[in-house]
Structure 1
Amino acid sequence: MDMKPVIVVHGGAWAIPDNLAESSKLGVRDAATCGFSILVNGGSSLQAVEAAVQILEDNIAFDAGHGAVLNADGEVELDAIIMDGKNLAVGAVSCIKNIANPIMFARTIMEQTPHVMLTGSGANKFAEKMNIEKVPTEELVTENAIKEWEQYQRYKQSVTSLFNTERMHDTVGAVAIDSMGNISCATSTGGITNKMVGRVGDSPIIGSGAYADNFTGAVSTTGHGESIMKVTLARQVLFNMEKGESPQCAAEHALEYMKNKVHGRGGLIVVSKSGEWAASFTTKRMAWACAENKILSYGLNPGENFQEKINM
């Protein structure tokens, strides 16, 4: 099989402020270009999505790894998932601390254990056993994240008010299809400011934060985690595609269903088994980028689609 490689990435669906707009666009462009380079050089979709998400985790413009936000106790708790559409292999982590690249650890769990997900202290113990480097909390947290957390503490703002204003920082993710027709997805997040200790959102939950199946396609979601889990958003998109809908229609209908059913907003990226893709969102903005045919497409605002050639 000789498929056209495609990778799509997102940097979170929320009310991205103007001071983060440019860095968000540059960040997703860099991640998509990196993942595409792996694909055109014969790498697998799994390698591509992992590498793309690692780049986003290392970028403080996003809320995953570096740039993560603080929970109610002023700590960082990270979640991530990676899935191989060829055999439905999955690795996920939740509520882990002091690991800069949770997506790499999620892949380790997929390949080195019989389990799908590890959480909390048990996950961190396994990370030590696998010699995955720990980093100080200060290395992951930005000054802005600290200021935001202090504001919530000062005014006793609730997580509910955070959702209503769409001010939450959010998840990053990637989906890809390689030249062999294999499809993969990856999603990673640092959660939401002032969340309850131990809260797990949609990101590491199979079928909610991500799903991949060579039979249909792959999805990575972003937005209000509790709403996404209630409608299993990622799988909902693929259900729609299995009924014959295009990736764009499937994405729009799934997001509309979530909005009508549970009043939740968010966004997602999707790629089909034939290489069709879409990036759709119901929030004010979502940073996204797609690389295919040596063309890079990217955007931030509704209806926005910039294009440029990829030099490699």
Structure 2
Amino acid sequence: MDSMGRSSVRLLVAVGLLLLRFNWCLAVDGGGVAEVGGAFPMVVSTWPFREAVRAAWEVVSASDGGGSAVDAVVAGCSACEVLRCDGTVGPGGSPDENGETTLDALIMNGATMEIGAVAAMRYVKDGIKAAKLVMDHSLHTLLVGEKATDFAISMGLPGPINLSSPESLEKWANWRQNHCQPNFWKNVAPAGSCGPYRPINLAQALDSVKHEVEGSQGGVCQDWFQSDNLLEPINSHLKFIDRHNHDTISMAVIDKMGHIAVGTSTNGATFKIPGRVGDGPIPGSSSYGDDEVGACGASGDGDIMMRFLPCYQVVESMRRGMEPQDAARDAISRIARKYPDFVGAVFAVNRKGVHAGACHGWTFQYSVMNSSMHDVEVITVYP
């Protein structure tokens, strides 16, 4: 072969390699996925919230080019709010100590890293839409309480609306009849069975009771003072957390262009202290997403999990090269080392569409749908 022929071969090989590289990049970035057998678009959600996933899928997979990841997240979380998924999302569930339902929600655009969130929002039923309005029409990230309500209504959402339901009020009435137990107070003494409460020094209280009993009875078993029998009336707490009293929908969407968005919506912990904000509207705790890396969603004991920002941890671990499964396990194990009794879970999905989950203290399920599936698939993750 002469030199001209060899040059032609080299040129053809170079062009071929360039095209292969281009197709690989398309597969990773999500553009032109259909041509290279990718799995985008994609929707992932905590729990078997199939209808929510289908609502998001309908938007992001539309034949006219598909909606954006952000629009799909809004559609999916809104569906869960309307359906009142597990009684822990949207209006009508999880009454606080006053019997009122309030909403927390967050949305994040992984392309721009913009975030909108509302917390302890009253009288507006559309949590995720309110969060998107904060992102779209303000330079803020988080609005709270009645001022979040005022903002949402001024931007066109219906309200004011009573967010309680007959079911939530009945649940609250039964709880009151049970002397407001269990609850989220600690190291307090109630004026009555349901408060008001005042703070106490637990060590001083135990010492005072010990001296009174010893003085009247001439001695007492030391073990008795260290038991839960004495602590329980002044240090009450919820002993059992599950998806029906302490849950969130957390959703991640990758659209046809490879852009990522995440969102959460919740009505918070049942019988929470009024004003409590959980991990739902906290960026990096309930959810986090970055086009360059991937996304994460979380569910569980938000008061514990928000101390660790597990979803931020998951995404940053994947940024450093961890696979989704290892990143999810690492984030959960970090919490478990400090709080062995905590209950929670995360799912992780990287920008290639590889997904995994990890949990502690309960069996967790998350839902997935992508272009290779005929319908939503539910993945079960064991502790």
TM-score normalised by structure 2 residue count: 0.70
* Cα separation, partners in 2 of 1:45 and 1:231, compared to 1, 3 Å: same
Gaps of 5+ in 1: 12-24, 304-312
Please give the per-residue CA displacement for 1:2-50, whole angstroms capped at 9, x wherever unaligned: 3421110124xxxxxxxxxxxxx4xx11111221222222111111111
Counterpart selection for 1:120 from 145, 159, 169: 145
Whole-Å separation in 1 of the counterparts to 2:160 and 2:379? 31
Asked if the contact 2:368/2:377 (under 8 Å) is kept, the reply is: yes
Matches within 5 A, 1:97-116: 97-116=122-141
Amino acid at match of 2:349: V
Is residue 32 of structure 2 the alignment partner of residue 2 of structure 1?
A: yes
Matches within 5 A, 1:126-145: 126-134=151-159, 136-137=161-162, 140-143=164-167, 145=168
C-alpha root-mean-square deviation of aligned residues, in Å? 2.1
Counterpart selection for 2:57 from 26, 36, 51: 36
The corresponding residue for 2:378 is 299
Please give the per-residue CA displacement for 1:40-75, whole angstroms capped at 9, x wherever unaligned: 221111111111111111113341213421111111
Three-state SS of the structure 2 residue aligned to 1:176 is strand
Whole-Å separation in 1 of the counterparts to 2:275 and 2:328? 30
Please give the per-residue CA displacement for 1:255-305, whole angstroms capped at 9, x wherever unaligned: 1211112332211222211111223322434342100124135337545xx
Is residue 288 of structure 2 the alignment partner of residue 211 of structure 1?
A: yes
Amino acid at match of 1:165: F
Counterpart selection for 1:52 from 71, 76, 83: 76
Aligned pair count?
287
Asked if the contact 1:96/1:123 (under 8 Å) is kept, the reply is: yes
Asked if the contact 2:280/2:302 (under 8 Å) is kept, the reply is: yes
Three-state SS of the structure 1 residue aligned to 2:257 is coil
The corresponding residue for 2:272 is 195
* Cα separation, partners in 2 of 1:261 and 1:52, compared to 1, 3 Å: same
Whole-Å separation in 2 of the counterparts to 1:150 and 1:300? 36
Structure with max Cα Rg: 2
Whole-Å separation in 2 of the counterparts to 1:150 and 1:67? 14
Counterpart selection for 1:166 from 241, 245, 254: 241
Asked if the contact 1:174/1:269 (under 8 Å) is kept, the reply is: no
Q: Which one has more relative contact order, counting CA pairs under 8 Å at least 6 apart? A: 1
Amino acid at match of 1:265: V
Asked if the contact 1:65/1:99 (under 8 Å) is kept, the reply is: no
TM-score normalised by structure 1 residue count: 0.85
Whole-Å separation in 1 of the counterparts to 2:361 and 2:74? 25
Counterpart selection for 2:335 from 236, 242, 258: 258
Is residue 105 of structure 2 the alignment partner of residue 80 of structure 1?
A: yes
Is residue 368 of structure 2 the alignment partner of residue 290 of structure 1?
A: yes
**Bigger fraction of residues in strand:** 1
